[in-house]
Each structure stands twice: as structure tokens, then as C-alpha cells.
Amino acid sequence: MNTRNEKIRKALVREISEIIQHKIKDPRLEGIISVTEIELSPDFRHAKVYISVLGDKEKKDQVMEAIEDSAPLIRKNIGRTVRLKYTPELRFVLDESFERVSRLTELIDKVSRGEL
């Protein structure tokens, strides 16, 4: 990954996190929500934004729905703060890697204690 791509990706992670935490006034966006990763297309016109949410399935669904509803506002704010020729189209994806890692750690702990 080249340095320009990495700089843009980091700027987008920072800005989208800031927008979700402080600029969107939606009661569904309460709790621990973080932008974990962004995949950019080579021309920077498309971005896949991975969102991690702490909570049950219902909470995750609510958060993702609120973020999808707020996507135009998020994109508009990015266009103002991150200087690019084109503001990327954003696609939000629920990142469940934390839950998988947590589950694997739990299973490894059980095996090491002889419970499995």
C-alpha cells in the first residue's frame, strides 16, 4: 500500500469516527462504536467502511441502520474536511472480527484449562 493511500485511509478513519461520535445526533448511535478499517478503491471513489459495535444483534442492527441513514451527511462532511478530487461513495459494513477473536480466545482458554 502506498503512502498516499495510507494517509487518505487514516484521514477517513479519523474523520468518519469524529462525525459518527460528535456530529450525528441520533439516539441509535449511543454506545461504543468505532471505525476499524477502510478499504479504498484505487481511484478513491469508493470506500468500504468497517464499523465495530459493542452490543447484541439488535443494537448492532440499530447502529448500522442509523449509520446508513446518515451516510449522505457523513459523505458531505468528509467532502468538506478531506480534500480529494472526488468524495468517495461510502459503503458501511459491520465488522464482527472482535467477536470472533473474543470467541476464539474463550475457546483456547477452555482448552488450556481442560474444560473441552
At 85, the amino acid letter reads: K
Look at the chain and report how many structural domains it folds into. 1
Q: What is the pTM of this model?
A: 0.81
Q: Which of 101, 66, 43, 42 is nearest to 51 (CA)?
A: 66
pLDDT in tens, the chain (116 residues): 578 889 999 999 999 999 999 999 889 888 889 999 999 999 999 999 999 998 888 999 999 999 999 999 999 999 998 888 889 999 999 988 777 777 778 888 888 888 76
The CATH number of residue 18's host domain is: 3.30.300.20
Q: Could you tell me the residue range of the domain that residue 29 belongs to?
A: 3-113
pLDDT of 116: 65
Please work out, in degrees rounded to the nearest 5, the angle formed at the alpha carbon of residue 46 by the alpha carbons of 21 and 6.
70
